[in-house]
């Protein structure tokens, strides 16, 4: 057995595939279709040194996160996540125990959200780790919540506190992760809002939705662009956690910068007609307006969000 097949065996180990579905082992996976549903597909590429640092992340967390960020894209349209396809290129010293641990974290996240790992690919890599995950989900036909549905007068909501992941990352990069296991865990183990996403997609009056991966300041403009409108955000309304407040206080960090410029919170950002009944934990942070542009109220600075390049 060569190293590639051995790696596939490590990844396959313990996978359960639902009845009627064909997973790893043939040229393709096979998933029966059902009239009245739409298939949702998303892909995310995670590159060592760009999206994660090998020395800072344990392999289980990296596996969890690789699955979770894609599951979050399905949640962001109100879909139910179903199937994952994992492609991973590893330098030879990581194809053993490291790969087992990565696969364990990946499968833990899949299992937590009802996702089956149905395929992918493996390769050697000279140096860096490259991970691509493609996630398939489904939702009732025509009911996916897109970025393009916002209309002037809509209230802008976020589904939970922002900035925790960015603060966790800041602690990790400064070698102070031990100061707040809560915040570092928010960074390493994001919990996509799958149930809430489906609930919102079934709620009349929700017009546009996405998940917050690059920070509100970078993500809200996507909704504004696709919906051809503008917005005002009241920065005094941005929800932040007690943990974030405490760590910002002790280090003199500005919570608002972490909350709006920091990415990877994987909360939902959505717009709703005034008066739409919403579950607890959703916080109004602004309004959609006809006038183009994004206006920050209650502050004299502006925000950019997380930049990848």
Residues of the shown chain interacting with its own copies in the complex, contacts defined by CB under 8 A: 2-4, 22, 25-47, 49-51, 73-74, 76-77, 79, 83, 85, 87-89, 92, 118-128, 130, 132, 134, 136-138, 141, 144, 146-148, 210-211, 226, 307-309
As measured in angstroms, the least distance from the Cβ of 173 to its own copies is 18
Residue 189 is encoded by which pair of tokens?
A: 């183990």
Nearer to its own copies, 210 or 260 (CB): 210
Provide the 3-class DSSP secondary structure of residue 146.
coil
As measured in angstroms, the least distance from the Cβ of 87 to its own copies is 4
| String of DSSP letters for 269-297 | EEEE-TT----TT-EEEEEEESSSSEEEE
Torsions phi, psi of 273, nearest 5?
A: -60, 145
Residues 194 and 108: their CA atoms lie apart, in Å, by 15
As measured in angstroms, the least distance from the Cβ of 214 to its own copies is 10
As measured in angstroms, the least distance from the Cβ of 92 to its own copies is 8
H or E element, residue 176: none
Q: Give every CB contact of residue 26 below 8 A, 6+ residues apart in sequence.
A: none
Nearer to its own copies, 177 or 305 (CB): 305
Nearer to its own copies, 34 or 242 (CB): 34
Residues 83-113: b if buried by 16+ CB within 10 A, e if exposed: bbbbbbbbeeebbeebbbbbbbbbbebbeeb
Burial (CB < 10 A; 0-12, 13-18, 19+), residue 280, is exposed
Nearer to its own copies, 35 or 242 (CB): 35
Residues 108 and 113: their CA atoms lie apart, in Å, by 9
Relative orientation angle of helices 181-188 and 164-173, to the nearest 10 degrees: 100
Residue 155 is encoded by which pair of tokens?
A: 């209230």
As measured in angstroms, the least distance from the Cβ of 249 to its own copies is 33
| String of DSSP letters for 243-267 | HHHHHHHHHT--HHHHHHH------
As measured in angstroms, the least distance from the Cβ of 46 to its own copies is 8
Nearer to its own copies, 26 or 55 (CB): 26
Nearer to its own copies, 167 or 169 (CB): 169
Nearer to its own copies, 19 or 178 (CB): 19
As measured in angstroms, the least distance from the Cβ of 122 to its own copies is 7
């Amino acid at each position: 057995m060569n190293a590639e097949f051995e790696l596939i065996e490590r990844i396959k180990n313990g996978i359960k595939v639902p009845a009627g579905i064909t997973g790893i082992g043939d040229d393709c996976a096979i998933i029966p279709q059902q009239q009245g549903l739409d298939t949702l597909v998303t892909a995310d590429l995670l590159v060592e040194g760009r999206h994660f640092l090998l020395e800072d992340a344990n392999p289980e967390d990296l596996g969890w996160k690789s699955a979770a960020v894609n599951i979050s894209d399905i949640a962001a349209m109100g879909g139910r996540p179903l199937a994952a396809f994992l492609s991973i290129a590893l330098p030879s010293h990581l194809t053993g125990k490291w790969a087992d641990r990565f696969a364990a974290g990946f499968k833990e996240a899949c299992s937590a959200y009802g996702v089956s790992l149905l395929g992918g690919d493996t390769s050697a890599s000279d140096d860096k780790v490259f991970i691509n995950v493609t996630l398939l989900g489904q939702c009732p036909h025509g009911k996916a919540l897109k970025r393009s549905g916002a209309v002037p007068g809509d209230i802008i909501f976020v589904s939970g506190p922002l900035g925790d992941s960015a603060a966790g990352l800041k602690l990790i990069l400064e070698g102070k992760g031990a100061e707040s296991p809560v915040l570092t865990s928010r960074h390493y183990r994001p919990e996509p809002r799958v149930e809430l996403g489906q609930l919102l997609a079934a709620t009349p009056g929700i017009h546009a939705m996405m998940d917050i991966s690059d920070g509100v300041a970078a993500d809200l403009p996507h909704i504004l662009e696709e919906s051809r409108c503008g917005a005002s955000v009241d920065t005094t309304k941005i929800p932040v956690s007690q943990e974030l407040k405490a760590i910002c206080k002790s280090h003199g960090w500005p919570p608002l910068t972490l909350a709006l410029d920091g990415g990877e919170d994987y909360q939902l950002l959505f717009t709703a007609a005034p008066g739409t009944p919403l579950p607890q934990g959703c916080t109004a942070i602004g309004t959609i307006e006809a006038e183009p542009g994004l206006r920050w109220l209650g502050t004299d600075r502006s925000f950019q969000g997380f930049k990848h390049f």
